[in-house]
Amino acid sequence: MKRIARLLLAVFALAGAAWAQNSLLINGAGATFPYPMYSKWFDEYHKKDSNLQINYQSIGSGGGIKQVTEGTVDFGATDGPMNDDQLKAFQDKHGFGILHFPTVLGADVPTYNIPGVSAELNFTQEAIAGIFLGKITKWNDPAIAGPNKGVNLPANDIVVVHRSDGSGTTYIWTDYLSKISDEWKNKVGKGTSVNWPVGLGGKGNEGVAGLVKQTPNSFGYVELIYAIQNNMPYGRVKNSSGAFIKADLVGVTAAAAGAAKNMPDDFRVSITDAPGKTAYPISSFTWLLIPTRFSDAAKRDAIKGFLKWMLADGQNYTENLSYAKLPKEVVAKELKAIDKVQ
């Protein structure tokens, strides 16, 4: 009996030592939107470097910021950049800063359901802001009908549909509305949840899509990937150069490229309503939040290694999963920023 126990103990000790030696576990948490991309990346990277296991929990951007600030995870992820207060809170608690690294791009598309109308509609900034502020209430309003000559729009009331849950998708949408409409900016503002002037709320992209599909004369927004994967029809949006753009991955990357010139060094930048002829205006980065200092050198090197791989080979996996890849201007800038992690 005793011998067996001793043997078992030895085996456990050996296994434990082997495991501790060869495997490094890094924990992260945050945004749900890039979760499919991240889990693919972490999986592929694990195949490359089997000693490194990156564990990511998609608990939401808010949770990601909170947990990385509290130090319960090694890195965070968010769909909306941390604000100055949050950065200060991190600095105060840890004595060093935190960096934003854009990973992929996402976009929101306007979707609608008007009985008898199958055409792809064009939406101007005024139309989208007016509908969501509750000022444009009928489908045949001149602001909507103007750029849609030849489409027979009914005189029905518009039913606005938005997200009921806090989400990065809402952040992008309200960030865009804040840029194109001063009234929206002052009255409602941008955030993962806002105080909507009008409309019904659906939970998740599927909730909004379901509501729009079910409710005649409705207008809502969903994440581009969701629309592509579910073959949903969606409208074109007028960009800052005056062109009506139908969202696709190329247009989203173009928006990021257009914004790259004025990109601040900390990458906390909104690329909604970005300049550029082909830029799709309702686009956004999603970020990894990496502390600038790691006490564990192995972890630091592993994370830096992963970031470099993600910006190079990792970007090749994006389009299969319908994420827009980073423009090369941004990649070059990020590669430099990796050196700030110590």
Partner 1 sequence: MATTTTTVPSAGPVAGSRSFLSRLRDGDEIARLITFLFAASVVLVTLLLVFELWQGSVLARHKFGFDFFLTKVWDPVFDQFGALPFIYGTMVTSVVALLIAIPLGIGAAIFLAELAPQKISDTLQFFIDLLAAVPSVIYGLLGVFIVIPLMREYIQPALKTTFGFLPFFQGPVYGMGFLTAGIVLAIMIIPYIISVSREILLSVPRDQREAALALGATRWESTWKVVVPFARTGILGSVFLALARAVGETMAVTMVIGNAPTISASLFSPGDSIASVIANQFTEATGDLYLQSLIELGLVLFLLTFILNGLARLLILVTTQRGSGTGLA
Residues in contact with partner 1 by CB under 8 A are 32, 59-63, 65-66, 80, 86, 157, 159, 164-168, 188-196, 199-203, 207, 210-211, 214-215
Give least dist CB 202 to partner 1, A.
Answer: 7
Give least dist CB 330 to partner 1, A.
Answer: 24
Residue 197: alpha-carbon gap to chain centroid: 24
Residue placing its CB nearer to partner 1 in the complex, 223 or 334: 223
- Looking at residue 250, its amino acid is V
Torsion of CA 58, 63, 67, 69, to 10 degrees: 130
Give least dist CB 199 to partner 1, A.
Answer: 6
Residue placing its CB nearer to partner 1 in the complex, 105 or 211: 211
Give least dist CB 208 to partner 1, A.
Answer: 11
Q: In this structure, are residues 77 and 31 in contact, taking their beta carbons and an 8 Å threshold?
A: yes
Give least dist CB 132 to partner 1, A.
Answer: 13
Residue placing its CB nearer to partner 1 in the complex, 179 or 190: 190
Q: In this structure, are residues 78 and 61 in contact, taking their beta carbons and an 8 Å threshold?
A: yes
- Looking at residue 179, its amino acid is K
Give least dist CB 21 to partner 1, A.
Answer: 37
Residue placing its CB nearer to partner 1 in the complex, 85 or 339: 85
Residue placing its CB nearer to partner 1 in the complex, 189 or 233: 189
Residue placing its CB nearer to partner 1 in the complex, 52 or 159: 159
Give least dist CB 40 to partner 1, A.
Answer: 22
Residue placing its CB nearer to partner 1 in the complex, 133 or 151: 133
Give least dist CB 177 to partner 1, A.
Answer: 12
Residue placing its CB nearer to partner 1 in the complex, 80 or 130: 80
Give least dist CB 73 to partner 1, A.
Answer: 15
Residue placing its CB nearer to partner 1 in the complex, 164 or 270: 164
Q: Could you give the CA distance from residue 5 to residue 22 in angstroms, rounded to a whole number? A: 26
